[in-house]
Amino acid sequence: MIRYTSKEVLDHGIPLGGIGAGKVELNNKGKMVNLTIFNNWQKPVTGMRGFHVFIMGERNYFLEDDVIVKGLEHMSTLLTYEGEYPFVKISGGDAQLTAFTPIIRNDLMDSSLPAFGLTVKTKKGIIAISVANLVGSFIIGRKNIPIKNGFKMVNVKSNDYDPAKGDMTFICDSGKVIHQYNINLPPQEVLKNGWVKELYESPEPWLRLMDGNLFPLNGEARGMWDDFAGMVISQDEVKCVLSWYFNNPTHSFPYTHYYSNFFKDSEEVARYFLEKFDELEKKTIKFPDRPFGEIISNLAYILSSSTWLTKDSRFGIMEAPEALPLLNTIGGLTYDAGSLPVLYLFPELERGVLEMFLKAIREDGYVPHDLGYLTFEAPTDGTTAPPEWKDTNLTLILEVYRYYKVTKDIEFLREFYPYILKAFSWLRDKVPLKEGSGDDAFDVNPVKGYDSYITSMTYIASEAMEKIAELVGDKDTAERARRLAEKSLKELRWNGKFYEAWEEPRTDALFLGQFIAFWWAELLDLPYDKDKIRTALREAYTRIKKGKHLCCVPNAINLDGSPYEYSPQTKSSWIRLVFATATLGLWLGLEEWNEILELEWKALVERGMVWNQPSRINVITGFPDVYLDHYIGSPVIWGILVKEIIKEV
| Tens digit of each residue's pLDDT (9 = 90 or more) over 414-431 | 999 999 999 999 999 999
Question: Residue range 479-499: average pLDDT?
Answer: 98
Check whether domain 322-648 has CATH 1.50.10.10, yes or no: yes
More confident residue, 366 or 290: 366
Q: Are 610 and 298 in contact (CB under 8 A)?
A: yes
Check pLDDT > 80 for residue 126. yes
Rounded-to-integer distance, Cα 79 and Cα 568, Å: 38
User: Is residue 156 very low, low, confident or very high in pLDDT (cuts 50, 70, 90)?
Assistant: very high
Q: In sequence order, what DSSP letters do the residues of 138-205 get, joined into one string? A: SSTTEEEEEETTEEEEEETT--TT-TT-SEEEEEESS-EEEEEEE-SPPHHHHHHTT--GGG-B-SHH
| Topology of the domain covering 2-283 | Beta-galactosidase; Chain A, domain 5 (2.70.98)
Rounded-to-integer distance, Cα 304 and Cα 326, Å: 16
Rounded-to-integer distance, Cα 439 and Cα 448, Å: 9
> In the chain, where are the structural domains located?
2-283, 322-648
| Tens digit of each residue's pLDDT (9 = 90 or more) over 36-55 | 999 999 999 999 999 999 99
Residue 548 is predicted with a pLDDT of: 80
Could you give the 3-state DSSP secondary structure of residue 318? Answer: strand
| Tens digit of each residue's pLDDT (9 = 90 or more) over 336-369 | 999 999 999 999 999 999 999 999 999 999 999 9
Q: Which residues pair with 230 in a beta bridge?
A: 131
Check pLDDT > 80 for residue 59. yes
Question: Residue range 117-128: average pLDDT?
Answer: 96
Residue 625 is predicted with a pLDDT of: 83
Residue 164 is predicted with a pLDDT of: 96
Could you give the 3-state DSSP secondary structure of residue 614? Answer: coil
Rounded-to-integer distance, Cα 446 and Cα 165, Å: 46
| Tens digit of each residue's pLDDT (9 = 90 or more) over 501-522 | 999 999 999 999 999 999 999 9
Average pLDDT, the chain: 97
Check pLDDT > 80 for residue 559. yes
Secondary structure letter of residue 294 according to DSSP: H
CA atoms within 13 A on the CB side of 311: 14
Question: Residue range 390-418: average pLDDT?
Answer: 98
Task: Note the pTM of the prediction, 2 decimals.
Answer: 0.96
Q: Are 186 and 205 in contact (CB under 8 A)?
A: no
Question: Residue range 459-471: average pLDDT?
Answer: 99
Which are the contacts of 125, defined by CB distance < 8 A and separation ≥ 6? 55, 56, 57, 58, 94, 95, 235, 236
Residue 61 is predicted with a pLDDT of: 98
User: Is residue 33 very low, low, confident or very high in pLDDT (cuts 50, 70, 90)?
Assistant: very high
Rounded-to-integer distance, Cα 311 and Cα 271, Å: 21
Handedness of CA 379, 383, 386, 387 (dihedral sign): negative
Amino acid at 160: D
Residue 287 is predicted with a pLDDT of: 87
Which are the contacts of 487, defined by CB distance < 8 A and separation ≥ 6? 429, 430, 431
Residue 133: name the closest of 111, 108, 110, 156 by CA.
156
Rounded-to-integer distance, Cα 191 and Cα 576, Å: 50
Check pLDDT > 90 for residue 626. no
Residue 482 is predicted with a pLDDT of: 99
Residue 290 is predicted with a pLDDT of: 85
Query: CB neighbours (10 Å) of residue 444?
Result: 14
Question: Residue range 477-482: average pLDDT?
Answer: 99
Check pLDDT > 90 for residue 303. yes
- What torsion do the CA atoms of 358, 362, 364, 367 make, to the nearest 10 degrees? -60
The bridge status of strand 616-618 relative to strand 572-573 is: antiparallel
